[in-house]
A = this chain, B = another copy of it.
C-alpha cells in the first residue's frame, strides 16, 4: 500500500464525509491536488476495494469508504486539531454560567456538544468508585425516613432516602452524622466497608440504622453512575442516512433506553479517546453509526465519560477537537471550584 493510495483514500474519505454521495474517479482527479487522471485513480480505487477499504454500492456508482477505511483514517488522525477560537469561546461561555449543581453543568455540556457538532451527544455523570467521602449528613424527612447526603472530594453531592428505625430523634441523627463524618472522611468505598466492619463489632444500639447507611452508600456509589444526559437527539435527522423514518426511529429508541446506552459508554473505559466505528459497536442498532468518546476529570482520580454519536461518515476531526476542548473545560470547571 503505497503513498499514492493513501492520498487517494484520504481524498475519497474527505469528500464522502462532506457530501454523503459515492465518490467517483473524476471527482477525485479534479478536486484535491492529486494530479492524476481519472483512469489512474480508477485503477488505484480498484486496488483499494480489493484491500477492503472501499465499497461499491453497485457497478457504476462511485466508491464509498468502508468501516476499515474510517478506522485507518482516524488512527492516522488521532491528534486533536486545534479548535477555532470562536468555538472555544462558545464552549467556555456556555459552561461558565455559574451553576453549582453538577447535574446542571452536565446538562449544559451535552447541549453545547450537540449544538457545536450537530450530532447527538451523551454525557455521563462521573463515576464515584474512587471518590473519597468528605461529609455525611442525615436529616429527617418523616418519622421513619431520612435523607442521607454525601459530599465527596470532587464536590459532588449525592443524596438518597433511607429508612430508619422509629424513635430516633433529630439530635441523635445529628450526632451520628457527625460521628460518621469524622470516621469516614477521606475514605473510599472500599475502605469504608472495612471501617464499617470494625464499627459494627462493638456496636450495641442502632445496628439497623448503620446497616441502612452502609447499604445506601453502596447502592448510591455503585449505581449512581448510570445517570446520563442526551443532547441533540433530533440532530441525526439532518443527515441523509436517516431520511428513512424507520432507521431514524430505531436510532431514537436506542437513545431513550439508557440501559442500552450505558454499557456502550462504559465499555470505552478510561481511555482518553475511544472511537468505535459502525460495526465495532456492539449494538446492532448502531451498526451504521460511529461513537467517539472522551473522558473528563474531576479532581485527581474521578473520571466521567462523554461521547458523540453520528453517522459513520462523521467529521471525526472536528468531533475530536470539540471533545478534547470540552474535556479540558469540564475538568477545569469541576476541579477548580472543588
Which positions 224-250 of chain A face chain B at CB distance < 8 Å? Answer: 232-234, 237-238, 242-243, 245, 248-249
Give chain A's interface residue range (CB within 8 Å of chain B).
35 or more
Identical subunits present: 2
- With a cutoff of 8 Å between Cβ atoms, the chain B residues found around residue A180 in the complex are none
State whether the Cβ of A74 lies closer than 8 Å to any Cβ in chain B: no
**Contact A140–B135 (Cβ < 8 Å):** yes
State whether the Cβ of A178 lies closer than 8 Å to any Cβ in chain B: yes
A233 CA to B230 CA, complexed, in Å: 13
**Contact B161–A170 (Cβ < 8 Å):** no
Which positions 36-69 of chain A face chain B at CB distance < 8 Å? Answer: none
Distance (Å) between the CB of A136 and the closest chain B CB?
9
A338 CA to B142 CA, complexed, in Å: 9
State whether the Cβ of A101 lies closer than 8 Å to any Cβ in chain B: yes
8 smallest CB-CB distances across A and B, nearest first, come from A234-B252, A137-B139, A237-B249, A100-B161, A234-B253, A141-B151, A243-B245, A234-B249
A242 CA to B147 CA, complexed, in Å: 45
State whether the Cβ of A157 lies closer than 8 Å to any Cβ in chain B: yes
Chain A residues at the B interface, C-beta cutoff of 8 Å: 100-101, 135, 137, 139-142, 145, 147, 149, 151, 155, 157, 159, 161, 170, 174, 177-178, 232-234, 237-238, 242-243, 245, 248-249, 252-253, 255-256, 338
A145 CA to B101 CA, complexed, in Å: 12
A137 CA to B177 CA, complexed, in Å: 13
**Contact B142–A139 (Cβ < 8 Å):** no
A139 CA to B135 CA, complexed, in Å: 9
A-B contact pairs, 23 of them (CB 8 A): A100-B145, A101-B161, A135-B139, A135-B141, A137-B139, A137-B140, A141-B151, A141-B155, A141-B157, A142-B151, A147-B149, A147-B157, A157-B161, A159-B159, A174-B174, A233-B233, A233-B256, A234-B252, A234-B253, A237-B245, A237-B248, A237-B249, A248-B248
Interface of A is mostly: mixed
A238 CA to B253 CA, complexed, in Å: 12
**Contact B232–A256 (Cβ < 8 Å):** yes
- With a cutoff of 8 Å between Cβ atoms, the chain B residues found around residue A101 in the complex are 161
The contact of A245 among B140, B141, B232, B245, by CB within 8 Å, is B245
- With a cutoff of 8 Å between Cβ atoms, the chain B residues found around residue A145 in the complex are 100
**Contact B157–A149 (Cβ < 8 Å):** no
A155 CA to B141 CA, complexed, in Å: 8
- With a cutoff of 8 Å between Cβ atoms, the chain B residues found around residue A159 in the complex are 149, 157, 159
- With a cutoff of 8 Å between Cβ atoms, the chain B residues found around residue A151 in the complex are 140-142
A230 CA to B253 CA, complexed, in Å: 13
Distance (Å) between the CB of A177 and the closest chain B CB?
8
A100 CA to B157 CA, complexed, in Å: 18
- With a cutoff of 8 Å between Cβ atoms, the chain B residues found around residue A232 in the complex are 256
- With a cutoff of 8 Å between Cβ atoms, the chain B residues found around residue A233 in the complex are 233, 252, 256
